[in-house]
Chains A and B, each alone.
Chain A
Amino acid sequence: MGSGEIAWAFEERGNASLVAPAGRVDEATAAEFAERLSKFAETCRDTMILDLEGIAYMSSRGLRALTLAQRRASECGTTIVLARPNPTMREILAISRYDRIFTVTETIEAAQDD
């Protein structure tokens, strides 16, 4: 899969922060993805919702960046929830068993309620 830059959107929703990256997280973009995600993880809301709707695909480096961000977020009591993965991302989360160590929701609202 070809790579490009990852676009980011961020907003606050009550006690949650909503982070919405868009693009492919592969070998070319994984380092930047990890760095930006860890920065967002420091916002210290109760929940950080990572909206995956715009993520076409994520390699193991992107998945491991999720774990690094969760570790950073945990320092101030924040839980990362993964929302709206596309079918490819849902398969990758299942194959990696990341759907067992992260809460994955179908909607943003469900992530807020988690």
Chain B
Amino acid sequence: MHIRFWGTRGSLPVAPHASTIAEKVSRALFAANGRSFASEAAARAFVEGELEFAVGKTYGGATSCVEIDLGAGPFVICDMGSGLREFGLDSLRRCNAEGRPQEYHFFLSHLHWDHIMGFPFFVPAFLAGAKIVIHAGHADAEEALRRQQEEISFPVPFDWLKADIAFRTLETGREYRIGRLDVSLIEQHHSHSSYGYRFRDDRGKVAVYSTDSEHKIDLMHGEADVVGFFEAADLVVCDTMYSLADTVSMKEDWGHSSNIVAVDLCHAARAQRLALFHHEPTYSDADIQRMYRETIRYEELTRDDAPLEVICAHDGLCIEV
């Protein structure tokens, strides 16, 4: 399966100012140091091969939306952040090009604004013939989605959507067969609760989506459950919004985790890869890149045996599991 990141930012969408782009271009030109390029492709190769990520690219600013792509059949999507708008359009392109059905299975971590705000802009929801199943650990998922399309918040009411939309509440402690995936979930510490999802495909490959999950300092004994949920996963997408110091001081009880707790949990679970996710909206690309490098270093310092590969998720990233 492939994991496509359509939105990786936490809490609030962000977009670069004109000055941010000007700064990147300036740094790129300075790094090129007068070099000339015979073609745009050659210039692109320079960007890909020689510029650091934060100069040549951006981690992006859309909020949480991650696709579990099995290459055929229904689409599987975790969360409906602002990245969902772009996914919706791309899915229709794939339906036309590849003959895939307009069938969508969503798995919601929770119902906070940044995780559902993309749904009113999800074009397939407006299409008669499209089928949408919204899976959630929360029984009030439908209420949350309907409420954000009430007149006070949005011009198009939920009932005007033409797709066949169904809601399904899932329970922890069970494994569900949904499409071609085995799916289980775990309750996490977050305001109004959140849920992490574990997906296993028919080849036995496992991807875990665990965002908006605070690992409470006075409940460390309970982390064995999280380690069990991450056990031997091929990929864990993990909330790494804050530094550890922030999670135990000013931002305690804000419902998020840190990069180094994520590494420790993945080490304990013998996971193969960790994707840093739900980036702090106040972070610049340079800040995220610094956090990424520090996380890689922490993993090296604390590694027991097999290395854990650390990836920094960004909007547009697609990785094979």
State whether the Cβ of A68 lies closer than 8 Å to any Cβ in chain B: yes
- With contacts A1-B304, A26-B302 known, what are 12 further pairs, Cβ within 8 A? A2-B304, A34-B220, A61-B220, A63-B260, A67-B217, A68-B218, A91-B298, A92-B298, A92-B302, A96-B243, A96-B260, A97-B246
Known: A1-B302, A64-B217. A95 touches B261 (CB 8 A): no
A-B contact pairs, 17 of them (CB 8 A): A1-B303, A2-B304, A27-B268, A60-B258, A67-B248, A68-B217, A68-B218, A91-B297, A92-B260, A92-B301, A92-B302, A95-B259, A95-B297, A96-B258, A96-B298, A101-B248, A101-B249
Report the separation of the CA atoms of residues A67 and B294 in the bound assembly, to the nearest whole angstrom.
Answer: 21
| Complex: A1 Cα to B302 Cα, angstroms | 7
Task: Return the CB mask of B209-227 against A: 1 if under 8 Å, else 0.
Answer: 0000000011011000000
Are the CB atoms of B260 and A95 closer together than 8 Å? Answer: yes
Check if A59 sits within 8 Å of B245, measured CB to CB: no
Contacts known (A1-B303, A57-B301, A91-B301); A98 close to B244, Cβ less than 8 A:
yes
Q: Is the CB of B302 within 8 A of A59?
A: yes
A88 near B260: Cβ-Cβ < 8 Å = no
Which applies to chain A's interface (DSSP): helix, strand, loop or mixed? helix
Number of A-B contacts (CB under 8 A): 64
Q: Is B301 within 8 A of A97, CB to CB?
A: no
Residue of B with least CB distance to A70: B248
- Cα distance A92–B263 when bound, in Å? 13
Q: Which residues of B lie under 8 Å from residue A95 when comparing CB positions?
A: 259-260, 294-295, 297-298
* Contact B268 A98, beta carbon cutoff 8 Å: no
Q: Which of B218, B245, B303, B304 contacts A96 (CB 8 A)?
A: B245
Q: Which of B255-286 contact A (CB under 8 A)?
A: 258-261, 263-264, 268
Residue of B nearest to A24 (CB): B302
- On chain B, which size bracket covers the interface? 20 to 34
Which B residues are CB-close (under 8 A) to A59?
A: 264, 302
Asked if B243 contacts A60 (CB within 8 A), the reply is no
Whole-angstrom distance from the CB of A92 to the nearest CB of chain B? 6
Q: Which 10 A-B pairs have the closest CB atoms?
A: A97-B245, A97-B243, A96-B244, A67-B248, A95-B294, A60-B261, A60-B260, A60-B264, A101-B245, A64-B217
A59 to B248, CA, bound (A): 15
- Which of A26, A91, A95 has most B Cβ within 10 Å? A95
Interface size counted on chain A using CB atoms at 8 A: 24
By beta carbon, the residue of chain A nearest B257 is A60
Interface residues as binary, B135-175 with A (CB distance below 8 Å gives 1, 0 otherwise): 00000000000000000000000000000000000000000
Within 8 Å by CB of A31, from B221, B244, B248, B263, lies B221
A96 to B303, CA, bound (A): 16
Output the nearest chain B residue to A66 by Cβ-Cβ distance. B248
Q: Which has the most chain A C-beta neighbours within 10 Å: B217, B294, B304?
A: B217
Shortest Cβ distance from A67 into B: residue? B248
Q: List, in ascending order, chain B residues with CB within 8 A of A26's CB.
A: 302, 304
Name the A residues within 8 Å of B244 (CB-CB).
60, 63-64, 96-98
B259 partner residues in chain A, CB cutoff 8 A: 95
Docked Cα-Cα span, A31 to B224, in Å, equals 13
CA of A31 to CA of B263, assembled, Å: 18
CB closest chain-B residue, reference A1: B304
Residues of B within 8 A of A68 (CB): 217-218
Known: A95-B260, A96-B258, A97-B243. A64 touches B301 (CB 8 A): no
